[in-house]
């Protein structure tokens, strides 16, 4: 082939590439249609609708990500780490300049359920719109009424992300959405009753439980968005914590929990099996405890319907009493002197205030991050019904070395029938360098 033909072929390919790029950019920056485009707005002063919106905002835990302690609710500013760099939660108060005060109902819907700002700018999926896509039109209208009429405007400017160019170019997110989201509202399953369907709606949609508890693929996508996938809520590592399985896995999930146990945990932050810690503390403090008993029962019904995976989870845990001789080891001695006063020499704790370590999920999973993190940094304050708890897991980062924490956790994860396995001191050192001590202040944010 002559040079002229090569040049012509190269020019054709370049033109085709340019056309494809233009089409991709158009696709990535276009404003998608909203089911509420023709719905107008919401009437001012509808107290019942605003109240419903406040409830949906609690169920969706909007306040936790879009607020900072000691700052006005929903004014943004929370720093969130991503694999590409840090991003900051935005101001979603009705301030016209800094917030969302200029959003129409359809604009609001596109942001919540499709992850697209009014000017076509794609939102990072740290905003859980893949889950919020399941919210009903009625709940979107209620949320809009609450944010526009029930929240005070705050003129707090948004902070730019720390993601460098060209990784901060956002139009490719549209392609990600096409591959990894399902932008349809929740559809009732006719084979299930109303309670199950309500629980499924809350877990898959507003509660966005999969954002933490579902493992992610190479493209940082949730491997399943509903119970049609076996990986849905099967447990995942996130930000130095292991969010455990919410399926009926007897060792690493909810297999040993009853529906009443689940509802109690979400309502009070504790039950006979566990006490909230890590990221779940903020979800409890700001969201789940505010749900009605009927909704908590519905969530429990739905979660208990999700089958576990015996092949992945192994044989069911059974309690095994520890011989006195095991406490002679370095890890056993540390446990006896540092941990047993709260969690007991028998590992059974003092429920519901101090949880058992015998059979604890953090002692049964191969991922040791949660056990390491809470040992290093302690637990956040649990605030139930406005009352801060009197018992907290203390931080041991100043009292124990990496090796000592690895030793005591290896002991816990191999005693009383626990099957988690040994902890490496290097893993402790890694989390020590990348985590901070938990704040002793209650993380409880008032929405208005």
Specify binding-site residues for heme c.
Answer: 62, 65-66, 209, 212-213, 339, 342-343
Cis upstream peptide for 102 (omega within 30°) = no
What does the DSSP 8-state code read for residue 195? H
Residue 55 tokens read as: 């409830």
Residue by residue, DSSP assigns 310-336 as HHHH-SPP---PPPGGGGGSHHHHHHH
DSSP annotation of 275: B
Q: How far is C-alpha 261 from the geometric centre of its chain's CA atoms?
A: 20
Cβ-based neighbours of 246, under 8 Å, separated by 6 or more: 203, 209, 213, 233, 235, 253, 254, 303, 306
Residue 133 near residue 185, CB atoms below 8 Å: yes
Asked if 295 and 262 count as a contact pair (C-beta separation under 8 A), the reply is no
- Bridge-based pairing state of the strands 79-80 and 236-238: unpaired
| Angstrom distance (rounded) from CA 338 to CA 345 | 11
> Annotated binding residues, as ranges?
62, 65-66, 209, 212-213, 339, 342-343
H-helix or E-strand containing 180? helix 173-180
Would you state the structure tokens that stand for residue 193, as one six-digit string? 């009753």
Number of CB atoms found within 10 A of residue 145's CB: 25
Structure tokens at 278: 């890590």
The position carrying tokens 């455990």 is: 244
């Amino acid at each position: 082939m002559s040079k002229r033909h090569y040049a012509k072929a190269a020019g054709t390919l370049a033109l085709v590439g340019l056309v494809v790029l233009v089409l991709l950019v158009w696709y990535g920056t276009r404003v998608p249609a909203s089911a509420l485009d023709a719905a107008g707005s919401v009437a001012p002063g509808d107290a019942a609708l605003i109240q419903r919106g406040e409830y949906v905002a609690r169920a969706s835990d909007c306040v936790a990500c879009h607020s900072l302690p000691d700052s006005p609710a929903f004014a943004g500013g929370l720093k969130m780490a991503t694999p590409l760099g840090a991003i900051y939660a935005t101001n979603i108060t009705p301030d016209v300049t800094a917030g969302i005060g200029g959003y129409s109902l359809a604009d609001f819907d596109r942001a919540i359920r499709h992850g697209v700002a009014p000017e076509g700018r794609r939102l990072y999926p740290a905003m859980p719109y893949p889950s919020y896509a399941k919210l009903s039109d009625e709940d979107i209208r209620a949320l809009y009424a609450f944010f526009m009429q029930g929240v005070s405007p705050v003129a707090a400017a948004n902070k730019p992300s720390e993601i460098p160019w060209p990784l901060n170019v956002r139009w490719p997110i549209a392609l990600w959405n096409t591959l990894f989201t399902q932008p349809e509202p929740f559809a009732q399953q006719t084979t299930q009753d109303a309670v199950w369907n309500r629980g499924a709606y809350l877990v898959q949609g507003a509660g966005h439980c999969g954002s933490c508890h579902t493992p992610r693929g190479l493209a940082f996508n949730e491997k399943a968005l509903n119970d049609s996938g076996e990986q849905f809520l099967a447990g995942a590592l996130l930000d130095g914590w292991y969010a455990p399985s919410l399926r009926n896995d007897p060792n690493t999930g909810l297999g040993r929990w009853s529906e009443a146990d689940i509802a109690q945990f979400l309502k009070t932050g504790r039950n006979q099996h566990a006490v909230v810690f890590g990221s779940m503390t903020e979800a409890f403090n700001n969201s789940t405890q505010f749900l009605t008993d009927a909704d908590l029962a519905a969530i429990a019904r739905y979660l208990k319907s999700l089958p576990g995976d015996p092949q992945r989870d192994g044989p069911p845990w059974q309690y095994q009493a520890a011989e006195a001789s095991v406490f002679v080891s370095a890890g056993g001695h540390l446990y006896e002197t540092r941990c047993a006063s709260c969690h007991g020499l028998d590992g059974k704790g003092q429920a519901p205030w101090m949880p058992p370590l015998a059979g604890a999920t953090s002692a049964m999973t191969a991922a040791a991050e949660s056990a390491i993190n809470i040992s290093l940094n302690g637990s956040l304050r649990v605030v139930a019904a406005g009352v801060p708890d009197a018992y907290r897991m203390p931080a041991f980062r100043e009292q124990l070395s990496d090796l000592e924490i690895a030793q005591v956790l290896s002991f816990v994860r191999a005693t009383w029938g626990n099957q988690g396995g040994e902890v490496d001191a290097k893993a402790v050192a890694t989390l020590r360098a990348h985590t901070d001590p938990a704040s002793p202040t209650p993380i409880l944010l008032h929405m208005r």
